[in-house]
């Protein structure tokens, strides 16, 4: 089999603004665990350019990587949902489109979803989103619970966890609550992570399980709401403890504090789950997908067939906005 060709596709102005140095990074096979924030804060950078860099780093001897504002006829063209349109000429080559947290994609050759419930549905396949680069894991190896942390955006964290008596109740038990809106990498003295959202609408089903996976990567344990993406990958209670409100969250944290054995089991479970969700494991999934596409020769399909598929998808797309 010839060396497979992967082509990252996005708007020319987006590339010029954010990835003018991309070719140099590809040539150097930069370690994707040390990439700048612009590669993982935002879906276009995360799904398209971070993926391409990671594949070049881990499989550079077997894959030829390029990028541009239009699809290549001789390559697997990888793009974010927002970039899948006539402007990129998607009837060239084969298109792999990351849906991210957008409405369904119609007209692509392969659609990558971040929720495993899609596996086996037509041309849709589950690939986990990349874990947070540069995570500094918990340093202590004991089972004590001294620090609880939230890592995420300020506009998604419910006020009752930072303005009510939740923080005070934890403090009375000798536990610090740390809310980190701008540093998502430092887990060094964190014992328990929490994850809750203001919104509980249908769009949650599109979100990735990133906070859960990052807590495993950070060598901590998770207390969280039972979001669809978390539930979809859950094997047992040892993956995370469920809480629906501050009272239940406090009780779950106290359960961990008072049961070192439960804490230890959950930590060990996190290490086990990283066999599937670590950066290396995600890279292997992507490469297996691209290798399968290349081996089947999907990139050699007639241009007319591709154009008809895309045209149908474009006609149907307005009907999918609410899903």
Residues 80-107: tens digit of each pLDDT: 999 998 899 998 889 999 999 888 888 8
> Residues of 14-29 as b/e, b for ≥16 C-beta within 10 angstroms?
bbeebbeebeebbeee
Q: Which residue has the higher pLDDT, 118 or 297?
A: 297
159/168 Cα distance (integer angstroms) = 14
The full DSSP string for 218-287 is TT-EEEE---HHHHHH--STTT-EE-SSHHHHHHHHHHHHH-HHHHHHHHHHHHHHHHHHSHHHHHHHHH
pLDDT above 60 (res 321): no
What are the distances in angstroms from CA 261 to CA 61, 125, 159?
A: 45, 37, 32
pLDDT of residue 205: 72
271/277 Cα distance (integer angstroms) = 10
In the numeric block, which tokens belong to residue 120?
């086996």
Q: What is the chain's mean pLDDT, rounded?
A: 89
211/222 Cα distance (integer angstroms) = 9
Q: Which residue has the higher pLDDT, 205 or 56?
A: 56
192/275 Cα distance (integer angstroms) = 21
Q: What is the pTM for the complete model shown?
A: 0.88
Share of the chain above pLDDT 70, in %: 89
What are the beta bridge partners of residue 224? 195, 242
Give 57's pLDDT tier (boundaries 50, 70, 90). Answer: very high
pLDDT of residue 322: 47
Rounded to the nearest angstrom, the gap between the alpha carbon of residue 96 and the centroid of all alpha carbons in its chain is 16
pLDDT of residue 36: 86
Give 162's pLDDT tier (boundaries 50, 70, 90). Answer: confident
Q: Which residue has the higher pLDDT, 153 or 223?
A: 223
Taking CA 136 as the corner, what is the angle to CA 253 and CA 282, rounded to the nearest 5 degrees?
95
What are the distances in angstroms from CA 196 to CA 134, 208, 239, 245?
A: 23, 14, 16, 9
Q: What is the mean pLDDT of residues 203-208?
A: 76
Q: Other C-beta atoms within 10 Å of 152: how many? A: 20
pLDDT of residue 320: 54
Instruction: Please name the residue that has the structure tokens 């590669």.
Output: 39
> Residues of 164-174 as b/e, b for ≥16 C-beta within 10 angstroms?
eebbebbeeee
Give 207's pLDDT tier (boundaries 50, 70, 90). Answer: confident
Share of the chain above pLDDT 90, in %: 69
Among 205-209, 228-232, 272-276, 307-311, the range of highest mean pLDDT: 272-276
pLDDT of residue 31: 95
pLDDT above 90 (res 191): yes
Q: What is the mean pLDDT of residues 51-79?
A: 96
pLDDT above 50 (res 293): yes
pLDDT of residue 316: 57
pLDDT above 70 (res 123): yes
Rounded to the nearest angstrom, the gap between the alpha carbon of residue 3 and the centroid of all alpha carbons in its chain is 27
Q: Which residue has the higher pLDDT, 163 or 73?
A: 73
pLDDT above 50 (res 186): yes
pLDDT above 70 (res 248): yes
122/29 Cα distance (integer angstroms) = 34
Query: 24-28, 37-41, 140-144: lowest mean pLDDT where?
Result: 37-41
């Amino acid at each position: 089999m010839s060396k497979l060709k992967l082509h990252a596709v996005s708007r020319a102005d987006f590339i010029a603004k954010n990835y003018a140095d991309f070719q140099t990074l590809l040539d150097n096979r930069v370690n994707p665990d040390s990439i700048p924030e612009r590669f993982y804060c935002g879906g276009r950078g995360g799904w398209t350019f971070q993926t391409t860099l990671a594949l070049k780093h881990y499989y550079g001897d077997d894959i030829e990587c390029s990028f541009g504002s239009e699809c290549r006829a001789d390559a697997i063209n990888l793009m974010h949902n927002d970039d899948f349109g006539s402007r990129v000429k998607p009837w060239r080559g084969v298109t792999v489109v990351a849906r991210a947290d957008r409405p369904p994609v119609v007209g692509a050759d392969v659609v990558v979803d971040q929720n495993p419930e899609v596996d086996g549905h037509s041309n849709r396949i589950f690939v986990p989103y990349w874990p947070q680069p540069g995570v500094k894991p918990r340093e202590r190896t004991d089972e004590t619970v001294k620090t609880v942390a939230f890592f995420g955006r300020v506009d998604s964290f419910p006020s009752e966890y930072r303005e009510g008596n939740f923080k005070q109740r934890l403090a009375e038990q000798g536990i610090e609550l740390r809310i980190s809106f701008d540093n998502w990498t430092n887990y060094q003295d964190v014992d328990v992570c929490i994850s809750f959202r203001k919104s509980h609408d249908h769009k949650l089903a599109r979100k990735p399980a990133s906070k859960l996976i990052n807590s495993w990567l950070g060598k901590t344990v998770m207390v969280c709401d039972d979001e669809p993406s978390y539930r979809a990958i859950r094997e047992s209670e040892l993956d995370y403890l469920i809480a629906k409100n501050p009272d239940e969250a406090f009780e779950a944290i106290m359960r961990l504090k008072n049961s070192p054995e439960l804490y230890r089991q959950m930590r060990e479970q996190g290490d086990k789950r990283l066999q599937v969700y670590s950066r290396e494991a995600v890279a292997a999934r992507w490469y297996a997908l691209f290798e399968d596409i290349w081996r089947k020769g999907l990139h050699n399909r007639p241009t007319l067939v591709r154009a008809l598929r895309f045209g149908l998808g474009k006609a149907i797309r307005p009907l999918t906005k609410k899903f």
